[in-house]
Structure 1
């Protein structure tokens, strides 16, 4: 009796079979579309897609970068499956090679935005320790003072519906102090997902204000 294949081998075999099946059908045919749909779905559920530079960014920022990277790679696989050569290695290695490259591409495309996120103090400590980025703490301190002063009142005026206490200024200052989303949620009586989503949307909205302020302070 032959031993059963381990999960990894079963996955590799299934992916290769689906890739070859798709390659064997002409572009645009229903059979090719079915095989490619199964292939992409299997990749997404496999848990084997690599996560480039994990731990380098706050979770919300990383998830956004990673999701865009994954979408680009899977679309490439769907449209260019004939580029895969089964004789040169496993399909998952080919896909993960592209995940690494595309992640860097996505990161570079966004690198012109000086304020990609607002790290809290715990994240600042890790960043400075890992990358010697002392400038990051200076920037964060200037941002904190800007939020605290809120000279035009624009940060405190923007708040979650029917909850003025849960305004951007209050949320951002607490986040900068290193409080967890759950702690902020309990204090402001707002669900974690609503809180995090509101914060990220408004951070993007106010990004240009922060950039202009930091330029005036000669931090950028």
Structure 2
């Protein structure tokens, strides 16, 4: 079982419903195709594209979300993402810093603290040494473009609740491997399921929208 599968199994047990893991089509890679986004989000995405040096040649594909909670009695309908260390890059720090100034979300401060943690930075550097993380990709056609693309796409998902496709959604919930007091994905996989469930339950109780 992968870390993501383990996490979503635990989350489902905690909230008492199955999570939609069918990759619902909610977000386009080309942000201009995401309809009815609030003006503040359009502005922050424009600023982010400039900061990350986009080449603006995005594909027309959808971005899969990790999971979707539907019509939960307390949590409502909302996207849930589970982030391994490759989502905590310096590019993601840039993205969150810009996004926070326009429309702050509950996980922003927590993720910024991870992006600035020397131990997390070391693990990010270790897992992103593979060439695939540094390749040129659509929208970011330069060395290291894949990590900029990931940071941009994560930001698009962060604000799906403020787009036409996410009408009626509550804000995204993001969990990171680091939330579970481990420094590698392998260590997360070896955690006891009851501990993962307890930590998820604690974080959900302290969720601030």
| TM-score class normalised by the smaller sequence | under 0.3
Q: Which has the higher Rg, Structure 1 or Structure 2?
A: 1
Greater relative contact order structure (CA < 8 Å, 6+ sep): 2
Q: TM-score, normalised by structure 2?
A: 0.25
